[in-house]
Structure 1
Amino acid sequence: MRLLNPTPNNKLSLPVPSADAQAASEALRQVICAEIAANAGAISFARYMELALYAPQLGYYSGGAIKLGKDGDFTTSPEMSALFGATLARVCAKLFPQTSANIMEFGAGSGRLAFDFLTECQTSGIALERYFIVELSGELRARQEELLKDFPQVLWLQTMPGAFSGVVLGNEVLDAMPVALVQKTGQGWSELDVVLDAQGDFVSQASRQAAAQLVAQIPDAENFAPGYTTEVHAVAIGFMHSVAQMLQAGHSQNGKAGLAIWFDYGFPAHEYYLDQRIQGTLMCHYRHHAHPDPFYLPGLQDITAHVDFTAIARAALESGLELLAYTSQAGFLLEAGIGEILLRTPVEDPQRYLPAANALQKLVSPAEMGELFKVLVLGCGAQLPAELQRHDRRHRL
């Protein structure tokens, strides 16, 4: 068994995984190698990323390792503070008069966002009919079921329904969807494939000409110099088309509005595809260490790319949704009342108040998550409360 892939990142000071974890990674490596062999020696990077993250029992999100929190590889807003989920519950309570009182969450992870959302509903008397979780991973669903066992409103789905009326929530969902890698060459844009080198290691190489619809996402694509490499987001765009169709079908069936609220890190297209960002935004996360090598220990690390919010918004508009807001996480949460929720914890109780205040600072500080993370709100037959539009940046998309 090869314990560690001899990639450049082995020179980094990354924690050494256990023997069992290395064995699981090697098993996934063999699965990927077999697929490469079955496809004339090459697969697209998007397919590699899909297997690395979602291969049954072995992929990063479908395996059994802890991903979130201090013992995992990264920390998300819901894992950082219960204030995040509570604030979203307050937002949705204001939207329910327009929509059905239903929530659908994608990418629920540990279930923390759902737990805090539902707890706030109980505390504040918010009437909620159903909280649907679309979950493909059996391992994650088992964790969610344990955490949410006291909330009968929760119902798990394996696939997206054809119609839905209510509010869709997604926190760090879009960044985890497989991306294609494209590179500018002297002959134009090429898509990068994953192949095996002479030592049997995964490497990327330019192969066929990139499909026109992939490159269409890149503004002024013809102006980039040869060697420029970036990612494009066909899977996330297709997903957004499906969400739009689902919300429109729900609106047609009962006349109720539908909304989707996405939290993620990313940029508008004109900030995403910059001359100086010559290697794109692809990043890997392993035990709270970030590095750029997607071929290091497949199945044991997260692989993500920043979101091109322009492409996502355009897909939603093409499918008939309205672009209701685009803003920073800080602007959205502060206007939604996260500070008021914090003040329910007495300042005179420093053991409870100070950790909560510190977590809020990380959520909204421009130096932390407040500016890097954006919020995109899309809707069908819906209107946002005026306060949630005070920091609107739709003009920047």
Structure 2
Amino acid sequence: MQHNEGDSVSAALRRRIHEAIAAAGGWIAFDRFMAMALYEPGLGYYSRDSRKFGTLPSSGSDFVTAPELSPLFGRALARQVAQALTAADSGAVWEFGAGSGALAAQLLESLGEAVKRYTIVELSGSLRERQRERLAAFGDRVCWVETLPGTLDGVLIGNEVLDAMPVQLLLFDGQVWFERGVAAHGDSFIWADRPTSLRPPVDGAFVPGTVTEIHPQARAFVATLAERLQRGAAFFIDYGFPEAEYYLPARHGGTLMCHRAHRADADPLVLVGEKDITAHVNFTGIALAGQDAGLDVIGYTTQAHFLMNCGLLEMLRGADLRSTANAQKLLTEHEMGELFKVIGLARGIALDPIGFARGDRTHTL
């Protein structure tokens, strides 16, 4: 996309959001703003034809995910997927938000004929086309859908999907809670707060000025999957915390973050549609949403423990320096190893998942 085309798309998105604010009486909740900024058809960040994923800003990308960083991520994850497919007596894999298609390619290459059908649930038309190009070699084993069938079986995968689901923002002034939303100010957007009955899910010692997030859309997404999964397992990999850590007083600024050209900032009201907007995952909420809909929590651990349990260190034997350095970023505490977590949910199968064999933290949820 040429620069002026990007400018025109951004201007059109801002107009669309201004129209939504005016139609709603001058204020919209942040989750609606975030949904439009990211997913408005043809205009939102994930709907426009621009590169998102890559290792360096020189590629025109905004951030890197684990599959782009190292193919060993997908190879290690494939071991857990293979075990779950066997337990479910299924050849079906479902991936939600497949990004560049890198993880799908790694899983398909590693799993081979164990995968009879690889279904990608992708809302972005531009990303679907890039995935089709990348995965063409796998033929009709790969298909795309925008909506879910009534029932599912097999293995469900979501890598950095939950963090991109719209969140509601709450502000505590020391006495009462407000819902933080967005209003118009000339051609720009500003924060605007309204009293609310919404609360964080814990009764914490919140300091005055605290801004934090709640995650009804992520919980609803997991509940929907849980209601439809008849036999199989689901694994979600993302950055986040259990509830008791998420709402610590020290995290009084919340976790909302934007990403553009491999730089992070905390202001989603500027460069709307030109950068990613994310929030960390409350994994306790994800676990409860699954349990309430009938799933079992089969494990929760750090990405480092999960990948090592799945054999990543053995895969590194004999690897060159660059491959080793990239794979180490998946494991080290100050990179992705500790902040990123993996949660496993299942129904109708007997599974002792290898990914949680050591370092399981389910007791912290």
What is the TM-score normalised by the length of structure 2? Answer: 0.94
Give unpaired runs (5+ residues) of structure 2. none
Partner Cα distance (1:36, 1:258) in 2: 42
Where does residue 145 of structure 1 map in the other structure? 132
Moved more, 300-309 or 188-197: 188-197
**What is the CA–CA distance in structure 2 between the aligned matches of 1:104 and 1:168, rounded to whole Å?**
5
Query: 1:136 pairs with 108, 117, 123, which one?
Result: 123
Partner of 1:150, secondary structure, is: helix
User: Which AA in structure 2 matches 1:27?
Assistant: A
Partner residue, 1:75:
64
Letter in 2 for 1:240: V
Structure 1 position 331, deviation (Å): 0.3
Q: What residue identity is the alignment partner of 1:374?
A: K
CA distance in 2, matches of 1:184, 1:387: 39
Contact conserved, 1:95 with 1:384, CA < 8 A, in 2?
A: no
Residue 200 of structure 1 pairs with residue 187 of structure 2: yes
Amino acid of the structure 2 residue aligned with 1:55: E
Question: 1:48 corresponds to which residue?
Answer: 33
Letter in 2 for 1:134: V
**Cα–Cα, structure 1 residues 210 and 19, in superposed 2: closer, same or farther, change >3 Å?**
farther
1:238 — aligned with what? 220
Task: Report the Cα distance in structure 1 between the residues aligned to 2:210 and 2:81, rounded to whole angstroms.
Answer: 42
Matching residue of 1:165: 153
1:177 corresponds in structure 2 to: 165
Aligned structure 1 segments of 4 or more residues deviating by more than 4 angstroms: none
Aligned residue type for 2:26: G
Seen in structure 2, the aligned counterparts of structure 1 residues 25 and 386 have a Cα distance that, compared at 3 Å, is closer
| Cα distance between partner residues in 2 of 1:262 and 1:127 | 21
Kept after mapping to 2: 8 A contact 1:191/1:208: yes
Q: CA deviation at 1:216?
A: 4.8
Number of the residue aligned with 1:154: 142
Alignment correspondent of 1:350: none
Instruction: Kindly state the Cα deviation for residue 386 of structure 1 after the two structures are TM-superposed.
Output: 5.0
Q: What is the correspondence of 1:21-100 to structure 2 with a 5 Å cutoff?
A: 21-69=6-54, 70=56, 71=59, 72-99=61-88, 100=90
Give the AA of the match of 1:390.
R
Count of paired positions: 357
Cα shift at 1:19: 3.2
Residue 271 of structure 1: how far off its partner (Å): 0.8
For residues 1-397 of structure 1, what are the structure 2 equivalents within 5 Å? 18-69=3-54, 70=56, 71=59, 72-99=61-88, 100-122=90-112, 126-152=113-139, 153-185=141-173, 188-197=176-185, 199-211=186-198, 215-217=199-201, 219-221=202-204, 223-247=205-229, 250=230, 257-343=231-317, 346-347=318-319, 353-382=320-349, 383-385=351-353, 388-397=356-365
Q: Give the conservation status (yes or no) of the 8 Å contact 2:200–2:213.
A: no
- 1:284-341 per-position Cα deviation (integer Å, ceiling 9, x unaligned): 0011010000011111100000001111111111111101100000000001011223
Q: Distance in 2 between matches of 1:225 and 1:336?
A: 41
Secondary structure (helix, strand or coil) at the match of 2:136 reads coil
RMSD (Å) for aligned C-alpha atoms:
1.5
* Amino acid in the other structure paired with 2:157: L
Q: Output the amino acid matched with 2:218.
A: A
Q: Distance in 1 between matches of 2:107 and 2:174?
A: 52
SS of the equivalent of 1:59 reads coil
Q: For the residues of structure 2 that align with 1:73 and 1:90, how far apart are their CA atoms?
A: 29
Partner Cα distance (2:111, 2:298) in 1: 24
CA pair 170-386 structure 1, distance change in 2 beyond 3 A: closer
Once residues 130 and 354 of structure 2 are traced to their aligned partners in structure 1, the CA distance between those partners, rounded to angstroms, is 37
AA of the residue aligned to 2:83: K
8 A Cα contact 2:300 2:343, kept in partner: yes
8 Å contact from structure 2 (residues 27, 192) kept in 1: no
User: What secondary structure is seen at the aligned counterpart in 1 of 2:46?
Assistant: coil
What secondary structure is seen at the aligned counterpart in 1 of 2:150? Answer: coil
What is the SS of the residue equivalent to 2:103?
helix
User: Which is higher, the Rg of structure 1 or of structure 2?
Assistant: 1
- Name the SS of the counterpart of 1:260 in structure 2: strand
With over 3 angstroms needed to count, the CA separation of the structure-2 counterparts of 1:82 and 1:186, relative to structure 1, is closer
Report how far residue 227 of structure 1 moved: 2.0
CA contact (8 A) 1:330 1:364 kept: yes
Counterpart Cα distance in 2 of 1:224 and 1:127:
49
Q: What are the superposed Cα offsets for residues 201-241 of structure 1, whole Å, 9 maximum, x if unpaired?
A: 21111114143xxx252x115x4233211111010010010
- Equivalent AA in structure 2 for residue 196 of structure 1: A
Q: Give the TM-score normalised by structure 1.
A: 0.87
Identity of aligned residues (%): 46
